[in-house]
Amino acid sequence: MKAIVCEQVDRLRLVEQEEPAAGPGTAIVRIRRIGICGTDLHAYKGNQPFFSYPRVLGHELSGVVEQADDPSGRIKAGDQVSIVPYMHCGTCIACRNGKTNCCMDMKVLGVHIDGGMRERIAVPVTHLLVTNELTLDQAAVLEPLSIGAHAVRRSGLEAGETALVIGSGPIGLGVMAFAKHRGARVIAMDIQEERLAFCRKWARADETVNARSGALEQLMALTDGELPTAVFDATGNARSMTDAFGYAAHGGRLVYVGLVKADLTFHDPDFHKRELTLMGSRNATLEDFAAVQAAVRAGSIDVDSFITHRAPFEEMIAHFDSWLKPESKVIKAMVEL
């Protein structure tokens, strides 16, 4: 079967691999859609933590089950599925406490172990969601949207709060959408006006702030000097993540959704004065996937507009570099098989 391997920084190659073997409790899934995410782009450019080469990328996946060994009978051949790419151990302290998203021995498809940028993959049936009621595109974007939904759930955001979401990539947009779903007032922050316009249209952001021109002053004006009670940084940018400390209200919380390969520092007296809560938010749980699947099924999430670029599998390598360029205006690129 065909697969695309990231052999080293800046090098992808189409190769032939052996077919995956089915085992007890696993299913063979014919991959039909692969969403391209910041993790893939960072791995390609050598900026992804927890990563080693060579690696088959791809963790935003949907496909069709070709064969399955599922004692429960939930997963059957012919089912369309979305893949939950977080292979947790099930026994560590995080898993025992229901926090499988931050397992101590986490293996994420396309990061720690080979992912789904190939024609077929063997997956534990426990990590498959039946999505027969969705399109293949919708099923493939459940994973990135679930990351945003998890961050919002972790924050404890409530209706009537003001939430600032910094960064309008796919993850930030998901945070905005689910913050709105909770009834929050959402302020979107980015450095590109075109992206901010998309936040207003797609995620229904209430206000927008251009970070290039007096961001703090704009936020103070929008909140009567009190600042947002919840700040989500989805940039993966060290300076933005550091600056975000100054954007949260007294008694508020700052949630890092994006990941940066760097050390971060903050001014402790200001942190204590405000009694801020700092949170990391990693991956998602089945609870988050279920919430997103229900929202997509109900028509609350516009997946068609979310996907802006496409390429057939065997042509993806030729398009990949262009998807890195800001002028390409990529929100979500989708690979089709």
β-pair partners for 121: 29
CA–CA separation, 266 and 232 (whole Å): 16
CA–CA separation, 255 and 272 (whole Å): 16
2-141+307-336, superfamily in CATH?
Medium-chain alcohol dehydrogenases, catalytic domain (3.90.180.10)
Ranges in the chain annotated CATH 3.90.180.10: 2-141+307-336
| Class of 148-280 in CATH | alpha beta
Helix (H, G, I), strand (E, B) or coil at 63: strand
* Bond prior to 170 in cis (omega within 30° of 0): no
pLDDT of residue 10: 87
CA–CA separation, 191 and 167 (whole Å): 8
CA–CA separation, 94 and 97 (whole Å): 5
pLDDT in tens, the chain (337 residues): 999 999 999 899 999 999 999 899 999 999 999 999 988 888 888 877 778 899 999 999 999 999 999 999 999 999 999 999 999 999 999 999 999 999 999 999 999 999 999 999 999 999 999 999 999 999 999 999 999 999 999 999 999 999 999 999 999 999 999 999 999 999 999 999 999 999 999 999 999 999 999 999 999 999 999 999 999 999 999 999 999 999 999 999 999 999 888 999 999 999 999 999 999 999 999 999 999 999 999 999 999 999 999 999 999 999 999 998 888 899 999 999 9
H/E element, 134: none
Ranges in the chain annotated CATH 3.40.50.720: 148-280
Instruction: Say how many C-beta atoms besides its own lie within 10 A of residue 319's C-beta.
Output: 17
pLDDT of residue 326: 86
Q: Rounded to 5 degrees, what are φ and ψ at 227? A: 70, 160
CA distances (Å), 65 to each of 18, 31, 68, in order?
18, 9, 7
pLDDT of residue 22: 87
Q: What SS3 string covers 2-36?
A: EEEEEEECCEEEEEECCCCCCCCCEEEEEEEEEEE
pLDDT of residue 117: 98
